[in-house]
């Protein structure tokens, strides 16, 4: 019995009185599924697509005018030669930018391998004389700390001559797009700043060891008080706030044009570039040539030079305009708010009102997410709340359809079944009988018989043992009638203690055997009662339907007359109707 309780409890959830509880339960399951799928790569990828799409709706903003991009571009490689170049070229560039008044010269290049000694010496001397050069570093072994990590720097003599250094590591998201970068990485007890952060810290006079995390924020404290709080994603990664496409953002100069202009100035000729173009500028030098490895996809465009990451981060730090991702607890709270809203919507009685409300909630939420991203620089998740809305509405809609089907089934059962015995009621029985009579009128070789029974002495049973016992007797008799019939036979409660059965395909002989089997089975049943054990019996009338007969009431009346004969000639017997249009040999009683 316990094994049957769970299916019964589940079935009860589809009843009207339990529908609110069932919707709440299914909604909780939808919420659990959403929380469980928050780490799924497929949903993350879709979230990133919508994140990138939001950048195209942000207002364009000017970049810091002090930032200059010096590109090692295709035209420079075409004129100077195959990359990498001799380090005397970089020495010349440093000297040119220093003489032109640049505030800082930042190389997104690592000079880790020695070259010709005289060229390395020339580069070291240029870096030392300038005092404004920053060099890139690479943390080998990955940012996530799998295995041993080491720091790859430029040659020691170059690093000592430089003003500062910083890492340029960036690991793309699962779809290969650059979106975030750690601004500070701890390596063997030393805090390594990102290259652009290193330049910014010197601008504000901040030492790397003073940079620290407070909760999710990276804090860059100023010596004079105050500082910059840089929001991260909770795992130390800064979301890069892209200013715009590479070609339309920042001031760009070609590497070779600067060399050419400087050479012209030295000769007293007119330079290609204005002589004051780099005065007080922060110059970032890096590769932008299309055939080299430093070209990567970003949310704004599929091909973006990696050096642009440094320019963008420096611009973000100087403008102090950062993207603020929601914390995990904030995202979970947002899901709970969406969950509660959907619960209210899904309780609406009107299907169309509910559907339009769900659609409105989705559109409103997505619009809100785009709005706060554009005007408040806050990244609110879109996929997971919308996914919750969809799966929550889907499971509840499926439940509603099942519940409607269950309710319709119950209504059909109430309309066609007897509530006490579970057999068909007489009204539905007559409809089925009429359909079967139509069938045999067209297929005259088929037979159809009716048996009609009445429980003997049922009033005495009620009076002696009580009406509850009488009801139990009727249930048992109905079950016995059903058990002794074929699957295609139709049993019904005629009324009171009377039962009627339609036997398609059975002639009078076969119907008699079925009736007698029912009679014997009922007579063998023993009922246990506190007033004493007892048995009961049934009297049955049998008739066969002629293919030409159309009057259902007349057929039932004929079976009833045979039953009347059985009741008044001793009871507990089966009697065949003698006034049937089909002539049959006289049947013996079943007593």
Neighbours of 498 (CB within 10 A): 17
Q: Which residues of 137-153 are buried (b: 16+ CB within 10 A; e: fewer)?
A: bebebebeeeeebebeb
| CA-to-CA dists, residue 341 to 328, 338, 512, 556, 558, angstroms | 20, 5, 65, 60, 65
Length of the chain in terms of residues written: 591
Of 305, 265, 384, whose CA–CA distance to 69 is shortest?
305
Residues whose CB falls within 8 Å of the CB of residue 149, separated by 6 or more in sequence, listed in order: 139, 140, 141, 142, 187
Of 523, 549, 517, whose CA–CA distance to 535 is shortest?
523
Residue 445 is among the residues annotated as catalytic for this protein: no
Which H or E run includes 429? helix 426-442
Backbone angles phi, psi at 13, to 5 degrees: -65, -20
**Which position has the token pair 């066609």?**
416
Catalytic residue among 497, 530, 549, 586: 497
Crossing angle between the packed helical segments 383-416 and 19-36, to the nearest 10 degrees = 150
Encode 110-155 in three state secondary structure: CCCCCCCHHHHHHHHHHHHHHCCEEEEEEEECCCCCCCCCEEECCC
State the pairing for strand pair 67-72/282-287: parallel
Rg of the Cα trace of the chain?
45
Asked if the bond preceding 84 is cis, omega within 30° of 0, the reply is yes
List the structure tokens of 237: 């990664």
Residues with a catalytic annotation lie at: 497
């Amino acid at each position: 019995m316990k094994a049957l309780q769970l299916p019964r409890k589940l079935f009860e959830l589809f009843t009207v009185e339990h529908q609110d509880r069932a919707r709440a339960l299914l909604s909780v399951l939808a919420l659990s599924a959403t929380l469980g799928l928050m780490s799924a790569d497929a949903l993350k990828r879709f979230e990133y697509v919508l994140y990138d799409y939001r950048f195209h709706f942000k207002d364009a903003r000017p970049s810091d005018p002090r930032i200059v991009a010096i590109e090692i571009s295709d035209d420079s490689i075409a004129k100077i030669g195959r990359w990498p170049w001799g380090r005397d070229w970089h020495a010349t560039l440093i000297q040119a930018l220093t003489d032109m008044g640049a505030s800082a010269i930042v190389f997104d290049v690592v000079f880790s391998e020695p070259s010709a000694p005289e060229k390395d010496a020339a580069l070291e001397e240029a870096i030392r004389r300038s005092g404004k050069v920053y060099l890139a570093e690479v943390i080998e072994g990955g940012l996530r700390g799998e295995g041993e990590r080491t720091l790859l720097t430029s040659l020691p003599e170059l690093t000592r001559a430089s003003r500062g250094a910083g890492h340029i590591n960036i690991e793309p998201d699962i779809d290969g797009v650059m979106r975030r970068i750690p601004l500070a990485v701890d390596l063997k007890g030393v805090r390594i700043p990102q290259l652009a952060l290193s330049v910014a810290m010197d601008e504000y006079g901040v030492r790397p060891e003073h940079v620290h995390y407070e909760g999710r924020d990276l804090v860059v404290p100023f010596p004079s008080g105050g500082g910059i709080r840089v929001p991260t994603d909770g795992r130390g990664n800064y979301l890069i706030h892209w200013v715009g496409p590479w070609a339309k953002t920042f001031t760009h100069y070609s590497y070779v044009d600067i060399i050419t202009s400087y050479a012209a100035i030295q000769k007293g000729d007119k330079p290609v570039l204005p002589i004051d173009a780099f005065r007080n500028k922060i110059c970032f030098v890096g590769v932008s040539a299309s055939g080299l490895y430093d070209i990567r996809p970003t949310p704004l465009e599929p091909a973006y030079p990696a050096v642009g990451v440094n320019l963008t981060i420096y611009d973000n730090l100087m403008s102090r305009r950062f993207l603020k991702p929601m914390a995990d607890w904030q995202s979970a709270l947002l899901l709970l708010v969406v969950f509660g809203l959907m619960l209210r919507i899904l309780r609406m009685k009107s299907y169309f009102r509910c559907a339009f409300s769900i659609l409105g909630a989705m559109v409103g939420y997505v619009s809100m997410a785009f709005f706060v991203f554009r005007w408040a620089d806050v990244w609110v998740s879109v996929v997971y709340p919308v996914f919750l809305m969809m799966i929550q509405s889907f499971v509840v809609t499926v439940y509603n359809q099942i519940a409607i089907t269950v309710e319709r089934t119950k209504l059909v059962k109430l309309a066609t079944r007897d509530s006490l015995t579970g057999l068909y009621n007489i009204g539905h029985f007559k409809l089925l009988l009429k359909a079967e009579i139509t069938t045999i009128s067209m297929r005259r070789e088929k037979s159809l018989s009716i048996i009609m029974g009445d429980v003997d002495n049922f009033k005495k049973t009620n009076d002696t043992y009580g009406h509850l016992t009488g009801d139990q007797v009727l249930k048992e008799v109905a079950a016995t009638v059903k058990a002794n019939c074929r699957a295609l036979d139709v049993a019904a409660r005629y009324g009171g203690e009377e039962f009627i059965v339609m036997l398609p395909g059975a002639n009078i002989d076969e119907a008699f055997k079925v009736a007698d089997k029912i009679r014997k089975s009922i007579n063998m049943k023993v009922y246990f009662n506190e007033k004493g054990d007892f048995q009961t019996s049934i009297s049955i009338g049998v008739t066969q339907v002629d293919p030409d007969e159309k009057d259902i009431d007349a057929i039932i009346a004929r079976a009833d007359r045979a039953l009347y004969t059985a009741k008044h000639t001793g009871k507990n017997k089966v009697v065949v109707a003698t006034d049937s249009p089909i002539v049959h040999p006289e049947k013996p009683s079943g007593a």
